Each structure stands twice: as C-alpha cells, then as structure tokens.
Homo-oligomer: A and B are copies of this chain.
Amino acid sequence: MNKKNLLIAQSGGPTCVINASLVGVIKEAIKNDNINTIFGAINGVDGIINNKLTKLELSEEELDLLSLTPSAYLGSARHILSRDHNDEEHNKILSTIKGNNIGYICFIGGNDSMDTVDKLSNFFLSINYPCNVIGVPKTIDNDLVLTDHTPGYGSAIKYIANTIEELSLDTDCYEKGRVTIVEIMGRDAGWLTAGSKLASLNGCGPDLIYLPEVPFDFGKFYMDVERIYNEKKKCLIAVSEGLKISNGQYVLNAFSNDSHHDKFGHLQLGGLSQILATLVKQELDLPTRYIELNLMQRCSSHIASSTDINEALSSGAFALQSVINKTAKFVSFVRKEEYQISYELKDVKDVANKVKCVPTDWIINGNDVSDEFIKYALPLIKGEVKHTYQNGVIKYLKRK
C-alpha cells in the first residue's frame, strides 16, 4: 500500500479540549494502515505555509496528559488564506505538502478555520493533488451551524456555571449587597452566557441573563435591576460581551470610541460590564461591581467536562477515519434523545463563516433562558475529569 503522511493543525482561540481532539486524531492515526508519519503544523496554517512541522511522537502517557491540557499544543494562528490559488502562499503550501508527502490533513478549529479547510481542500481538488482535508470542530462559542454543539463549549459552561454558583454564594453574604455584573464571552451568540443558567439548578443562578440575540433595552434593563435589588438587596447579572442595541450596534461601541476590528472583521470587545456597572450606578444610584470571566472561560481545564473531553477524543478519531477517503468535509455532532452523540460528515462550505445563535424562543422576557436551553446544555457539562496534581498544581503537557 502507498502510505502517506498525516498533518494535523490547530487554529483559532484555544479551548480546554482542542488538545483532546488532537489526541483523538493521533491515537486513531497510529492504528491506521494508510498513515506513515504523523506531523503537527506549528501555529496552524502559518506552519503549513512556512514548512514548520513537528513529528508527533508522543508516549501513551504523554497523550493522556495532553488530552486534559488546555490551550493549543501545536500553537494557533489567525491567518486567513487568500482565494488566489496561484499566489506565493499557495506555492509554499504545496511545497510543504509535497515535500513531506502529506496525503491527509485534519484541521481542528472554529468558524474561521472551517473557511481555511474549505479553501485548502478546494485548492487541492482544483489542481488535482491527492490530499484530503477534514475539519474537526472546536470553539467554546458553540456558534457553528450544522452540528449539535462544538467541543470546548461543555467545559466552558461547566466553568461558567460553577463560577456563577460560587459568585452567587459570595455576593450573597452581606445584608446589603451590590449589583454584580458578570461579563461572559460571545460576540454574536449567547450560548456561553446562557450557560450561567445551569447554576440555577442548584439554586445559585444569576438573577438576570442578557444575550446578544435579543436587542438590549436600557430602560427595561434598569427596571429589571431595580426590581430585583429592591426585593433581594443584591442582583447578580450575566451579560454577553456582544450585547447589541436595536440598530445592531454593539452596546460597547455606543459608549466607546476606540473599537478595533481584528483581521476577520470581528470586533474586539471587552469592558462592557464596566460600562454597564457605571451606568447602573449613575441611573439607579446602587453599589455595583463588574467581573470579566475573561480567558479563564476557555482554559480552565481544572474543571473541564469529561463528556466534552471524551467527545473531543472520539470526534478526532472519527475525523481520522474519514480523512482517508473524504475531503472538504467537517465532523458534525449528531444528538440522539437520551443524550447520545454520533458523528457525520457535512460539507465544510456550508459551515464556514456562518453563525448559529441561541433560538430566540429559548430566551424569556429578554432577561432569562428557558428549560429548553437547560435540557440542551445540561448533558454537555456532566462528568468530572481526574487530573494529576504535582505540587498542588495540575500536571499539563507543554510542547518543548
């Protein structure tokens, strides 16, 4: 048999389980007769362009450690491929692929990375070069279309729900508390912020939850906050960083002059909770506090969901099985009732650059989410991970 080499890349914002997806691909590749050497691209598509590859020869023990390690082991990238198949970038990519006898690429990433998978696979198809490319989904944002959910989301909302519960207990301890505004990631979709609702199952959820799917109404917001504070002498609020007013403008931008766009045209948000806390103090004269959950949302592997880890591992394995004779596809998560996940391939062109939002009929009264959301999200955070601690700090695997 004419064996080919495998190339794995990671891209986009890191998560708690993007390395578990990597391990899933590697472990399955070791068993697969079509594959010779397993390479990793250092820093995503940048590594492919610049021929910066590393041989992935990890022991079983290292692989197990890596599957529980946050961040992207191979390094990530934010590079966007051009559409011109004849430019220098594409010449260099082809040189790397030919020079290393790569026949299969598994590309682990989110929305923007699926765009890369789409472009790469079309490039190879257009020049009739035998290299298959499959996308393995990852994103804490859970905003990919055509998949039940994305790996990374379950661990992120497990962190968020547990942290909201602990903050709820903490902020409840004074007779007269504050309006505490907790800012959660999510540019265009409120999946992560909705996850705060899961703390309510233990009686410690937020009092108010605001998602970007519904236009943010300042008048109603002030009324909501005042009502809760009058009743409870405290108010815990979960807000999505991407809240928008009715004309589609980000709330943040309405109060800020220095908004920046990243290379993909996304707005770099941050600081919304600070603005809302200032406004609540001004308008309602109530004591406030703002908290950003920040990067901890995507890297708190110490409280990862084992369901999430296991699905990342098995979706990686499924991607490897698929890449042997398929290209231009991505791995879609399919849910059966009584929570069971299987995987299917779908065309990657149909997922790239699209956003899946929280269904608006799951959003109640503009300030809460429904039991349908809980039913959807609860299975994703179940199960705890057993970490190895070394010196009181978790042992993780770092690339040398």
A residues with CB within 8 A of B: 14, 43, 46, 69-72, 75-78, 158, 161-163, 165-167, 169-175, 198-199, 201-204, 289, 291-292, 294-296, 298-303, 305, 378, 381-384, 389-396, 398
Contact = CB atoms under 8 A, between A and B. Distances in A.
Contacts of A390: 201-202
B77 A161 contact: no
Contacts of A77: 174-175
B393 A161 contact: yes
26 contacts: A71-B173, A75-B174, A161-B392, A162-B302, A163-B296, A166-B299, A166-B302, A166-B396, A169-B299, A169-B398, A170-B295, A172-B398, A199-B393, A201-B391, A201-B393, A202-B393, A202-B394, A202-B395, A204-B393, A292-B294, A302-B302, A303-B303, A378-B392, A381-B391, A381-B393, A382-B392
Of A163, A174, A382, the most chain B CB neighbours within 10 A belong to A174
A76 B382 CA distance: 33
B163 A396 contact: no
Tallying the copies of this chain within the complex gives 2
Contacts of A298: 170
A199 to B, nearest CB: 6
A386 to B, nearest CB: 10
A204 B396 contact: yes
Contacts of A43: 174-175
B292 A292 contact: yes
Contact of A170 (B199, B299, B394): B299
B166 A70 contact: yes
A14 B389 CA distance: 26
Nearest to A19: B169
A381 to B, nearest CB: 3
